[in-house]
Amino acid sequence: MYQNPKKFTESERSKQDKRLSELRDKSKEGGGEKRKQNQHDKGKLTARERIELLIDESSFVEIDAFVVHQNEKFNMSENKPLGDGVITGYGTIAGRPVFVYSQDFTIFGGSLGRAQATKICKVMDLAVKTGCPVIGLLDSGGARIQEGVDSLAGYGDIFFRNTQASGVIPQISIILGPCAGGAVYSPSLTDFILMNRTNSFMFVTGPEVVKAVTGEEVSFYDLGGSDVHSTLTGICHLVGDTEEETIDLSKKLLSYLPANNLDDPPIELNESEENNQLELADLIPKEENEPYDMKRVIEIIADTDSFFELQDEWSKNIVVGFARMNGITVGIIANQPLYLGGAIDYHAADKASRLIRFCDSFNIPILTFVDVPGFMPGLKQEHEGIIRHGAKLLYAYSEATVPKISVIIRKAYGGAYIVMSSKHLGTDINLAWSTAEIAVMGAEGAARILHRKKLKEAEDPEKVLADFTQQFKDEFANPYQAAEKGYVDKVIFPEETRREIAVALHLLQNKRDHLPRRKHGISPV
Ligand code: HXC
Between the CA of 110 and the centroid of ligand 1 the distance, in Å, is 8
Catalytic (active site) residue 30: no
Query: Is 248 a domain residue?
Result: yes
Note the pLDDT of residue 448: 86
Using CA atoms, how far apart are residues 225 and 129, in angstroms rounded to an integer? 34
Using CA atoms, how far apart are residues 380 and 197, in angstroms rounded to an integer? 30
Query: Is 185 a domain residue?
Result: yes
Nearest-CA residue for ligand 1 atom 29 is 141
Same-domain check for residues 165 and 247: yes
The enclosing H or E element of 194 equals strand 192-196
Note the pLDDT of residue 171: 98
Between the CA of 27 and the centroid of ligand 1 the distance, in Å, is 21
Nearest-CA residue for ligand 1 atom 15 is 108
Domain termination site, one of 254, 288, 316? 254
Residue (of 259, 328, 264) closest to 92 by Cα position: 259
Beta pairing class for 238-240 and 192-196? parallel
264 contacts 363 by C-beta, under 8 angstroms: yes
> What is the pTM assigned to this prediction?
0.95
259 contacts 132 by C-beta, under 8 angstroms: yes
Q: Return averaged pLDDT per consecutive 10 residues of the chain, 525 residues in all.
A: 84 91 95 96 97 98 97 90 97 98 97 97 98 98 94 97 98 97 94 97 93 94 97 98 98 98 91 82 90 97 96 98 97 98 98 98 98 96 97 98 98 96 98 94 82 84 85 86 97 97 95 94 94
Using CA atoms, how far apart are residues 102 and 55, in angstroms rounded to an integer? 12
Using CA atoms, how far apart are residues 422 and 482, in angstroms rounded to an integer? 11
- Amino acid letter at 226? S
Question: Cα torsion for 205, 44, 197, 364, to the nearest 10°?
Answer: 90
Which residue spans within 75-170 are E strands per DSSP? 86-93, 96-103, 134-140
What SS3 state is found at 473? helix
Dump the DSSP string for 339-361: TGGG-B-HHHHHHHHHHHHHHHH
- Say how many domains are in the chain: 3
Using CA atoms, how far apart are residues 56 and 378, in angstroms rounded to an integer? 50
Nearest-CA residue for ligand 1 atom 27 is 141
Same-domain check for residues 48 and 186: yes
Same-domain check for residues 65 and 114: yes
Dump the DSSP string for 407-439: EEEEEEEHHHHHHTT-GGGT-SEEEEETT-EEE
Between the CA of 274 and the centroid of ligand 1 the distance, in Å, is 54
Same-domain check for residues 304 and 451: no
Same-domain check for residues 287 and 245: no
Ligand 1 mutation pick, 145, 158, 160, 188, max ligand atoms within 8 A of CB: 145
Handedness of CA 76, 78, 80, 85 (dihedral sign): negative
The enclosing H or E element of 202 equals strand 201-203
Using CA atoms, how far apart are residues 465 and 444, in angstroms rounded to an integer? 7
Shortest-distance atom of ligand 1 to CA 140? 32
Shortest-distance atom of ligand 1 to CA 145? 9
Query: Across the chain, how many H-helices and E-strands are there?
Result: 21, 16
The enclosing H or E element of 264 equals none
Query: Is 517 a domain residue?
Result: no
Phi, psi of 445, rounded to the nearest 5 degrees: -60, -40
**Cβ atoms within 10 A of the Cβ of 287, count?**
6
Between the CA of 437 and the centroid of ligand 1 the distance, in Å, is 56
Between the CA of 299 and the centroid of ligand 1 the distance, in Å, is 44
Dump the DSSP string for 365-412: -EEEEEEE--BPPSHHHHHTTHHHHHHHHHHHHHH--S-EEEEEEEEE
55 contacts 93 by C-beta, under 8 angstroms: yes
The enclosing H or E element of 67 equals none
Note the pLDDT of residue 473: 82
Domain termination site, one of 254, 269, 299? 254
Using CA atoms, how far apart are residues 386 and 383, in angstroms rounded to an integer? 8
Nearest-CA residue for ligand 1 atom 42 is 142
Between the CA of 35 and the centroid of ligand 1 the distance, in Å, is 14
Same-domain check for residues 413 and 484: yes
Note the pLDDT of residue 398: 98
Same-domain check for residues 225 and 317: no
Same-domain check for residues 127 and 144: yes
Query: Is 13 a domain residue?
Result: no
Burial 451-486 (b: 16+ CB within 10 A, else e): beeebeeeeeeeebbeebbeebbeebbbbeebbeee
Same-domain check for residues 292 and 231: no
203 contacts 224 by C-beta, under 8 angstroms: yes
Phi, psi of 315, rounded to the nearest 5 degrees: 45, 65
The domain in which residue 453 lies consists of 443-476
Catalytic (active site) residue 224: no
Query: Is 12 a domain residue?
Result: no
Is 167's C-beta closer than 6 angstroms to any atom of ligand 1? no
Cα→Cα distances 105→40, 92, 117, 277, Å: 11, 24, 15, 50
Using CA atoms, how far apart are residues 373 and 226, in angstroms rounded to an integer? 31
- Amino acid letter at 102? S
Same-domain check for residues 343 and 454: no
Cα→Cα distances 512→328, 403, 428, 489, 515, Å: 18, 9, 11, 20, 11
Instruction: Name 496's bridge partners.
Output: none
What SS3 state is found at 520? coil
Query: Is 271 a domain residue?
Result: no
Nearest-CA residue for ligand 1 atom 35 is 141
Query: Is 525 a domain residue?
Result: no
Dump the DSSP string for 475-517: HHSSSHHHHHTTSSSEEE-GGGHHHHHHHHHHHHTT----PPS
Note the pLDDT of residue 457: 85
161 contacts 133 by C-beta, under 8 angstroms: no
Supply the CATH number for residue 342's domain: 3.90.226.10
Query: Is 393 a domain residue?
Result: yes
Catalytic (active site) residue 415: yes
Is 141's C-beta closer than 6 angstroms to any atom of ligand 1? yes
Catalytic (active site) residue 32: no
Using CA atoms, how far apart are residues 237 and 191, in angstroms rounded to an integer? 9
Same-domain check for residues 202 and 59: yes
182 contacts 142 by C-beta, under 8 angstroms: yes
Is 201's C-beta closer than 6 angstroms to any atom of ligand 1? no
Shortest-distance atom of ligand 1 to CA 208? 35
Same-domain check for residues 373 and 233: no
Nearest-CA residue for ligand 1 atom 32 is 141
